[in-house]
Structure 1
Amino acid sequence: MALQAKSRTLSPNLEGALWMLASALVFTANGVLVKALAETGMSFFQIALARAGFALLAILPFVYLAGWRALRTAYPGTHVIRAVCGAGAMLSGFYALSHLPLADVTAIGFTTPLFATILAILFLGETVRWRRWTATLVGFGGVLIMLRPGALLSGEGIALDGFLAALGMAAGIAVAVIMVKRLPKSEHQAVMLLWFCLASIALAVVPAIQAWQNPSLEQWLMLAGVGVIGVSGQSLIIRAYRAGEASFVAPFDYSKILFAMAFGFLFFAEIPEIWTLAGAAVIVASSLYIAQREVKLGTRKERERAGVGE
């Protein structure tokens, strides 16, 4: 790949930023395919089933190379929770994409760090100080800005079912992230991908069969694209965090909102409302503040372990 050739002359952080930008572009393109399929009348369960099935075919060679011994785990419960929540998040996201503009779903998805803050207290026993709590509350204030309660009551606001589904997507991803933190770093990536695909198939197969419509050749190609692109996006994120520092790389994920606005306009003639942009700005700002606080606290702990003063 051209990016791999150029990366030899790039700094690690810049390389990681480029991988993260690529992942944001790929995931947004995946959202375009899902939304386009939903607009043809295809059930989001059928889209999710195809996504999991084609993704499973894509990772099987890596599973084979890793060997079945590498797939054994001492943490089946954690994998089940992570896989089910991740699959639920995917289903919720696909439902949201079929009811909301692409930029709205993308912006609401940025609440994942806010949910992760709350879940870290419940599952990881982390201590959250008042600054981080304030940032979390401000972030959810951005959610209310997007929701526009007054307009919602008058029937002119954002579609509530799609909005709640997008929030469910963000919460599900947050749970999956927390579960990953509970797993040791030695746990093979193929294990996580395999469990996710199997859980997605289990959740989607029955309702997908009930709502099944025979896809055309073009739809089959799009469904295959959803599966392969989804796995590719996950791989790009892993490359991003392995290449550069997490604190430097993570903010580039917010480029999704720019890609979503552009793709939403080009493919669906969607123009984001000022409320969407304002709410997204508040959510992104609060999430970036939380990330910055995490970096500062992490650095302080490292200095304390090393016996270095401020």
Structure 2
Amino acid sequence: METSSEHRGRVVAFMIGATGLFAATSLLAKAIGTGALGPALPPLMVSLGRFAFAFAGIAVVVALMRPRLTRPRWSTHLGRTICGWGGITLMFAAVARMPLPDATAISFLSPVFTMMLAIPLLGERVRPVRWTAAAIALIGAAILLRPGDALQPAALLALGAACAMGLEAIFIKRLTRREAPLQILLVNNGMGTAIAVAAALMVWAMPSPAQWAALAAIGLLMAGGQALNLAAMRQSDASFVAPFFYLTLVWAAGFDQWVFGLLPDAVSVIGAAVLVSGAGLLVWRDRARRPQGFIR
């Protein structure tokens, strides 16, 4: 019989793998956007790879598993997809212009924006502890924006990504009440592919063979990360799983140092630590009160 420690160990392994895959997609996006694999491609092209190849992978899984599909809530899916596409495109633009750990840390503000938007959109009441956690996270973001230096425009892109992903979470909360996770992923990536194709045609540039491989990897790694995250969420309480998502920052720092030779400076470390402390507390409180899955 499987012991509790073995069960939790498997959940931890799932989350370590998921966060590593999520960070790897940002690393590949940075390589494509900085010209490391050929002439730099615009973020709209990278987003196309993320959605198109993820959709292909998820469609294969659906065809093999043949899950029961219900009638989708198309308007909610469309809102979620537009926010998700916009958020990931801004994130890809940010990582090409600033240190990967900084952009990753700023993206962790998305739970703060979700909390703020849930007040008017979902009618939720926010208690003082959650406002305190949000304030801590915003202080960390302010440190990462480096107001004493010349403001990094790329940091504003990451901030916009966090806002879009925060609004996306509102739509996800509505969808998870009525639809299965695999159906949500299938519809989201299918609609995202259509949007990404239309946007990419405006800036189309033929990728090199290495860039095609990287674009395919971004989509498939993202789909793999989503699958591992959902597997972890199915096998454990959300309050146990959620904090492990912040391992993405550790992976991002390691990848940035390994591939680009960039080490986080003191400002980055302090800002990220403060932001993650606040955002982590906010996520823990939210998941402890109302356990839900996370679908990136």
Q: Same fold (TM over 0.5)?
A: yes
Contact 1:87 1:196 in 2 (8 A): no
Contact 2:29 2:218 in 1 (8 A): yes
Offset at residue 219 of structure 1 (A): 1.7
Matches within 5 A, 1:89-238: 89-152=87-150, 157=151, 159-160=152-153, 162-238=154-230
**Could you say what secondary structure the match of 2:148 adopts?**
helix
The 1-side partners of 2:232 and 2:9 are apart by 9
Distance 1:140 1:262, change over 3 A: same
Matches within 5 A, 1:1-310: 10-40=5-35, 41-65=40-64, 70-73=69-72, 75-152=73-150, 157=151, 159-160=152-153, 162-294=154-286, 297=289
Give the number of aligned pairs. Answer: 286
CA offsets 1:152-196 (integer angstroms, 9 cap, x no match):
2xxxx4x22x11211122222222222121124451333322332
Q: Give the equivalent residue in structure 1 for 2:294.
A: none
Contact 1:108 1:166 in 2 (8 A): yes
Distance 1:65 1:257, change over 3 A: same
The 2-side partners of 1:138 and 1:230 are apart by 29
CA offsets 1:176-226 (integer angstroms, 9 cap, x no match):
222121124451333322332233333332442232222222221111111
Offset at residue 10 of structure 1 (A): 4.4
Contact 2:105 2:249 in 1 (8 A): yes
The 2-side partners of 1:126 and 1:22 are apart by 33
**Could you say what secondary structure the match of 1:151 adopts?**
coil
Distance 1:130 1:106, change over 3 A: same
Contact 1:66 1:190 in 2 (8 A): no
Contact 1:264 1:270 in 2 (8 A): yes
- Name the TM-score, length of structure 1 as normaliser: 0.85
Contact 2:136 2:277 in 1 (8 A): no
Amino acid at match of 2:207: P
Offset at residue 127 of structure 1 (A): 0.8
Gaps of 5+ in 1: 1-6, 300-310
CA offsets 1:61-86 (integer angstroms, 9 cap, x no match):
2333565971522x222111111111
- Name the TM-score, length of structure 2 as normaliser: 0.88
The 2-side partners of 1:111 and 1:195 are apart by 26
Distance 1:210 1:138, change over 3 A: same
Distance 1:294 1:55, change over 3 A: closer
Contact 2:55 2:193 in 1 (8 A): no
The 1-side partners of 2:219 and 2:290 are apart by 36
Distance 1:58 1:281, change over 3 A: same
Amino acid at match of 1:16: V
Q: Percent identity?
A: 34
